[in-house]
């Protein structure tokens, strides 16, 4: 009885996987805001409202560049957007945020008012890993929400497997590592051992503001301020946690399955 | 004359009004109250010199205990005189004290005399928690299985040590601490603006419950209350959090017995519930929603309507997906009589949440100690008698239904009005307690201020702190291959335990 029920349901519902990236990307929740952008020419010289309210000191004023906002430290809480009197910091509603270099996450004046999206891994690595990549996930001191939204990519709605990306149970089977969490001191050794156990060539992906900068825990002595002091990171995916779409975009981008221009239709 | 100060959930008591006893008298008073049905919500030490540091050196320590009297809708507090050295352990008679006492030993160096298995809880000095001694079962046929800290899937880190003969598990010891981020220490001296962000990320799947408890304590300590509209939004978000996690866990259980229809449906529906939270505040995990003084995002009537429409669809989908699972006899055969806990053990271990309700015990903060919006709108307690994996799954299922009913009713009952109120400074020398029924069970926050109204401590007890031992007990005499379904049926938090 239930077998027929299930079959009938399957036929009736059809494919539940999102059309993206062939079709348009699903919309972000209207209050999400996506990546932030900064137009520091709008900043008033004496204003520091955003710096005072930011919970992670993601915003600072430098002598040469004026106000800078580090999306690697940002928790996307929206407080700075709320308090800014001149709308210098505004949401873009764009889910695309992954970058290859940590500095690319720092927003500033001029060309740096938006972040510089990740390039792919280069032809040699793409030839090796582009069609199928296996990742080992290490969770190291976060809150389990980044893990949850990485896991979501494995559900039928996202079906990460269709891109040849798979999470595996041993570092020996892996081509790379995906790290979440600021790296608690207690996890440092396990993270290093896992990284060492992955055969070359290999890549490392930091997901979430914790893994990039320590996130909400960046000042706690019991944690490191992100993974890149411990292992070299090839891809940074910001957010707290990043929306599954942001994570997927990062993975596809670094594997050369998505060109910067090719995905503009999402807007 | 009771040796305790009595208070209700989400209220405060002046530090001086809490009876102060010798450690011996304090412990015997606690033991007596527990013999009469009380249970421990929180039991901890703090430096007596009113200084704001969590890990004290050689200073004297005061112990504080918060007990719950569930049938009387009352909490009671007691504290000890400052002392150093040792205190009589409650654990031999009341095993639910065992982790609290180990933590007091770890944080303050006090020895609970008579504790049967005294070792640190989340210490990292010796490199990793798994380097501490483990209980060993002796015998030439016995073999040990060690798992973790890095697990095979996308899971938080922890270390499990099984003592087995063949497939059969005689004993499981769980060593955590890998997720320790020093959150309590970072809150001490506050409230700091960054505090709420650390609380949000204390256990990322329980953000709404923890932020509600933290914010309520600060509101109580500053002599104010969040506006009703904010209390309403918090109650709605709390049930959405429960719906998402319970649905995800039913799917995960189905996945572990390779029953894919339910597993794949629930995986998607769980995401739909998370998206309903994101409809309120933009974030799927309720980040930036709750803040001391109220909420940051409102659920306006039009938005509530949209939420309700999407909710109805997801509720009927999860109803169908769960029915497939209950009707599949091969799945039931894997869940029934596996990982059974007796009501007696569950009560003695002080367990909370769906895990204890699956042993037939009525224990639910929303019902026993209503605070916030739950003073006006109650949710019936969901229980199931058998104590096994199937019972834990069934309780989740009943709670999905009850949360759905609650939301359908309450979404139309917005009180309106302001969403946030300004926060005056905290009252000095005061203790506040808030319990919130998170989806795993009772979230307990105890906040104590110093002479200047700064936080001396903000002691957090995640439901997982009470329940991990329950998982270890449920594994006794089970096949080790049943560990995954036992584990999923509890789905406890590592980071919530480790803080
Ligand atoms: S949105 Fe980011 S940068 Fe702005 S205040 Fe929040 S954490 Fe800081
Ligand atoms: S980045 Fe945010 S969501 Fe991710 S682990 Fe850290 S606190 Fe949790």
Shortest-distance atom of ligand 1 to CA A76: 1
Shortest-distance atom of ligand 1 to CA A50: 5
Ligand of minimum distance to the alpha carbon of B181: 2
Q: Is A97 on the interface with B (CB under 8 A)?
A: no
pLDDT at A265: 38
* Contact flag A143-B495 (C-beta cutoff 8 Å): yes
E strand intervals along chain A: 36-38, 59-62, 66-70, 89-91, 106-107, 133-139, 165-167, 176-180, 203-207, 235-237
H helix or E strand, kind and range, residue A53: helix A49-53
pLDDT at A264: 43
Chain A, nearest residue to B130 by Cα: A186
What would the mean pLDDT of A28-34 be, rounded to a whole number? 91
ipTM for this model = 0.92
Find the CB nearest A31 among B186, B201, B297: B297
Ligand of minimum distance to the alpha carbon of A73: 1
- CATH 3.30.70.20 residue ranges of chain A are 36-95+104-113
What is the CATH topology of the domain spanning B5-113? Beta Polymerase; domain 2 (3.30.460)
Whether A266 has a pLDDT exceeding 50, the answer reads no
Q: Is A12 on the interface with B (CB under 8 A)?
A: no
Chain B, nearest residue to A210 by Cα: B201
Would you tell me how many other CB atoms lie within 10 Å of the CB of residue A82? 12
Residue A210 CA to ligand 1 centre (angstroms)? 14
CA distances from B435 to A63, B363, B469 (A): 48, 12, 21
Whether A252 has a pLDDT exceeding 50, the answer reads yes
pLDDT at B267: 93
pLDDT in tens, A41-80: 888 888 889 999 999 999 998 887 788 899 999 999 999 9
**Apex CA A28: angle with CA A24 and CA A31, to 5°?**
155
pLDDT at A205: 96
- In order, the DSSP letters of A128-157 are HHSS-EEEEEEE-SS-SHHHHHHHGGGSTT
Residue A158 CB–ligand 1 contact under 6 Å: no
Whether A123 has a pLDDT exceeding 90, the answer reads no
Shortest-distance atom of ligand 1 to CA A53: 5
pLDDT in tens, B145-167: 999 899 988 999 999 999 999 99
What is the CATH topology of the domain spanning A123-266? Rossmann fold (3.40.50)
Whether A109 has a pLDDT exceeding 80, the answer reads no
**Distance of residue A171 Cα from the nearest chain B Cα, in angstroms:** 10
**pTM score of the predicted model:** 0.94
pLDDT in tens, A130-148: 788 999 999 999 999 999 9
Choose the mutation target among A216, A239, A245 for the interface with B, i.e. most B CBs under 10 Å: A216
Residue A208 CB–ligand 2 contact under 6 Å: yes
Q: Is B245 on the interface with A (CB under 8 A)?
A: no
Whether A232 has a pLDDT exceeding 90, the answer reads yes
Find the CB nearest A29 among B194, B278, B328: B278
* Contact flag B182-A181 (C-beta cutoff 8 Å): no
Residue B295 CA to ligand 2 centre (angstroms)? 21
A 55-94 residues with CB below 8 A of B?
55-56, 75-79
3-state SS record for chain B: CCCCEEECCCEEEEHHHCCEECHHHHHHHHHHHHHCCCEEEEEEEEECCCCCCCCCCCCCEEEEEEEEEHHHCEEEEEEECCECCEEECCCCCCHHHHHHHHHHHHHHCCEEECCCCCCCCCCCCCCCHHHCCCCCCCCCCCEEEEECCCCCCCCCCCEEEEEEECCEEEEEEEECCCCCCCHHHHHCCCCCCCHHHHHHCCCHHHHHHHHHHHHHHHHHHCCCCCCHHHHHHHHHHHHHHHHHHHHHHHHHHHHHCCCHHHHHHHHHHHHHHHHHHHHHHCCCCCCCCEECCEECCCCCHHHHHHHHHHHHHHHHHHHHHHHHHHHCHHHHHHHCCCCCCCHHHHHHCCCCHHHHHCCCCCCCHHHHCCCHHHHCCCCCCCCCCCCCHHHHHHHHHHHHHHHHHHHHHHCCCCCCCCCECCCCCCCCCEEEEEEEEECCEEEEEEEEECCCCCEEEEEEECHHHHHHHHHHHHCCCCEHHHHHHHHHHHCCCHHHHHC
Contact B384, B394 (CB under 8 A): yes
Choose the mutation target among A139, A151, A166 for the interface with B, i.e. most B CBs under 10 Å: A139
* Contact flag B271-A152 (C-beta cutoff 8 Å): yes
Contact list in B for residue A149 (CB cut-off 8 A) is 284
Contact list in B for residue A160 (CB cut-off 8 A) is none
Residue ranges in chain B modelled with pLDDT below 70: 1, 50-58, 124-131
* Contact flag A139-B186 (C-beta cutoff 8 Å): no
**Distance of residue A208 Cα from the nearest chain B Cα, in angstroms:** 12
Architecture of the structural domain at A36-95+104-113 = 2-Layer Sandwich (3.30)
- CATH 3.40.50.12280 residue ranges of chain A are 123-266
* Contact flag A5-B128 (C-beta cutoff 8 Å): no
Residue A240 CB–ligand 1 contact under 6 Å: no
> What DSSP designation does A201 have?
S
Whether A260 has a pLDDT exceeding 70, the answer reads no
Higher pLDDT, A257 or B39: B39
Round to whole Å and give the CA distance between B219 and B293: 6
A13-A19-A24-A26 Cα dihedral, nearest 10 degrees:
60
* Contact flag A137-B207 (C-beta cutoff 8 Å): no
Find the CB nearest A190 among B150, B155, B197: B150
Residue A83 CB–ligand 1 contact under 6 Å: no
Residue A238 CB–ligand 2 contact under 6 Å: no
pLDDT in tens, B194-221: 999 999 999 999 999 999 999 999 999 9
Q: Where are the domains of chain B?
A: 5-113, 183-490
Q: Is B460 on the interface with A (CB under 8 A)?
A: no
* Contact flag A217-B177 (C-beta cutoff 8 Å): no
Pair of tokens at residue B266: 């629930």
Residue A174 CB–ligand 1 contact under 6 Å: no
pLDDT at A250: 92
Q: Map residue A235 onto helix, strand or coil.
A: strand
Architecture of the structural domain at B183-490 = Orthogonal Bundle (1.10)
pLDDT in tens, B332-383: 999 999 999 999 999 999 999 999 999 999 999 999 999 999 999 989 999 9
Contact list in B for residue A30 (CB cut-off 8 A) is 279, 282
Residue A141 CB–ligand 2 contact under 6 Å: no
pLDDT at A118: 83
Q: In this prediction, what percent of chain A has a pLDDT beyond 70?
A: 96
Write b or e for each residue in B19-43: b if 16 or more Cβ atoms lie within 10 A of its Cβ, otherwise e. Answer: bebebeebbebbbebbeeebbbbbb
* Contact flag B285-A55 (C-beta cutoff 8 Å): no
Round to whole Å and give the CA distance between B479 and B470: 16
């Amino acid at each position: 009885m239930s077998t027929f029920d299930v079959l009938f349901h399957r036929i009736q519902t059809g494919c539940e996987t999102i059309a993206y990236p062939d079709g348009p990307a699903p919309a972000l929740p209207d209050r999400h805001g996506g990546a932030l952008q900064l137009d520091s020419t709008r900043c008033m010289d004496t204003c520091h409202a955003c710096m005072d309210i930011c919970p992670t000191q993601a915003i600072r004023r430098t002598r040469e560049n004026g106000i800078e906002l580090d999306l690697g430290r940002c928790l996307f809480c929206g407080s700075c957007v709320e308090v800014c009197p001149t709308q210098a910091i505004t949401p873009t509603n764009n889910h695309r945020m992954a970058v290859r270099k940590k500095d690319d996450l720092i927003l500033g004046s001029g060309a740096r008012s938006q972040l510089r999206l990740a390039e792919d891994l280069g032809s040699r690595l793409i030839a090796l890993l582009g069609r199928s990549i296996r990742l080992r996930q290490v969770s190291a001191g976060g809150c389990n929400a980044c893990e949850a939204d990485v896991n979501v990519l494995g559900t039928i709605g996202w079906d990460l497997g269709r891109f040849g990306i798979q999470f595996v149970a041993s570092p020996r089977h892996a081509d790379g590592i995906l790290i979440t969490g600021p790296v608690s001191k207690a996890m440092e050794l396990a993270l290093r051992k896992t990284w060492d156990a992955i055969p070359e060539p290999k890549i490392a992906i930091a997901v979430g503001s914790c893994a990039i900068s320590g996130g909400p825990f960046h000042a706690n002595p019991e944690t490191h301020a992100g993974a890149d002091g411990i292992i070299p990171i090839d891809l940074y995916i910001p957010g707290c946690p990043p929306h599954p779409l942001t994570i997927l975009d990062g993975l596809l981008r670094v594997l050369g399955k998505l060109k910067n221009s090719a995905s503009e239709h999402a807007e | 004359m009771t040796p305790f100060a009595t208070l209700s959930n989400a209220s405060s008591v002046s530090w001086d009004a809490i009876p102060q006893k010798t450690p011996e008298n304090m412990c015997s008073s606690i033991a007596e109250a527990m013999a009469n049905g009380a249970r421990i919500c929180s039991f901890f030490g703090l430096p007596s010199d009113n200084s704001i540091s969590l890990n004290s050196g050689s200073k004297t320590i005061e112990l504080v205990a918060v007990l719950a009297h569930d049938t009387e809708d009352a909490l009671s507090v007691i504290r000890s005189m400052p002392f150093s050295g040792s205190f009589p352990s409650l654990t031999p008679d009341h095993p639910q004290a065992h982790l609290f006492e180990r933590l007091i030993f770890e944080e303050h160096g006090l020895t609970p005399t008579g504790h049967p298995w005294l070792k640190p809880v989340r210490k990292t000095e010796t490199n990793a928690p798994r380097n501490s001694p483990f209980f060993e079962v002796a015998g030439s046929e016995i073999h040990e299985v060690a798992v973790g800290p890095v697990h095979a899937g996308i899971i938080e880190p922890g270390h499990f040590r099984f003592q087995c003969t063949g497939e059969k598990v005689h004993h499981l010891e769980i060593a955590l601490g890998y997720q320790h981020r020093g959150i309590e220490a970072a809150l001490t001296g506050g409230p700091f603006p960054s505090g709420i962000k650390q609380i949000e990320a204390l256990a990322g799947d329980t953000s709404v419950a923890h932020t509600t408890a933290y914010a309520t304590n600060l509101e109580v300590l500053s002599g104010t209350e969040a506006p009703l509209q904010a209390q309403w939004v918090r109650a709605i978000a709390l049930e959405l959090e429960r719906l998402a996690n319970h649905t995800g866990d039913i799917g995960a259980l189905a996945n572990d017995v390779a029953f894919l229809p339910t597993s794949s449906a629930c995986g998607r529906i769980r995401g739909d519930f998370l998206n309903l939270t994101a409809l309120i505040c933009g974030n799927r995990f309720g980040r930036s929603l709750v803040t001391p003084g109220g909420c940051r995002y409102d659920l306006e009537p039009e938005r509530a309507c949209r939420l309700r429409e999407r909710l109805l669809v997801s509720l009927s989908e999860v109803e169908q997906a769960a029915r497939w699972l209950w009707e599949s006899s091969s799945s039931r055969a894997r869940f029934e009589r596996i990982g059974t806990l007796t009501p007696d053990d569950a009560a003695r271990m002080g367990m909370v949440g769906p895990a204890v309700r699956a042993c037939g015990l009525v224990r639910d903060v929303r019902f026993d100690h209503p605070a916030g919006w739950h003073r006006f709108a109650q949710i019936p307690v969901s229980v199931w008698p058998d104590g096994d994996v199937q019972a834990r799954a069934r309780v989740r299922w009943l709670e999905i239904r009850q949360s759905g009913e609650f939301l359908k009713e309450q979404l139309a009952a917005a009180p309106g009005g302001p969403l946030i109120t300004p926060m005056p400074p905290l009252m000095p020398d005061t203790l506040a307690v808030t319990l919130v029924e998170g989806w795993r069970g009772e979230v307990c926050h105890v906040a104590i201020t110093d002479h200047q109204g700064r936080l001396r401590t903000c002691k957090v007890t995640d439901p997982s702190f009470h329940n991990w031992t329950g998982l270890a007990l449920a594994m006794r005499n089970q096949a080790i291959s049943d560990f995954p379904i036992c584990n999923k049926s509890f789905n406890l938090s590592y980071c919530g335990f480790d803080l």
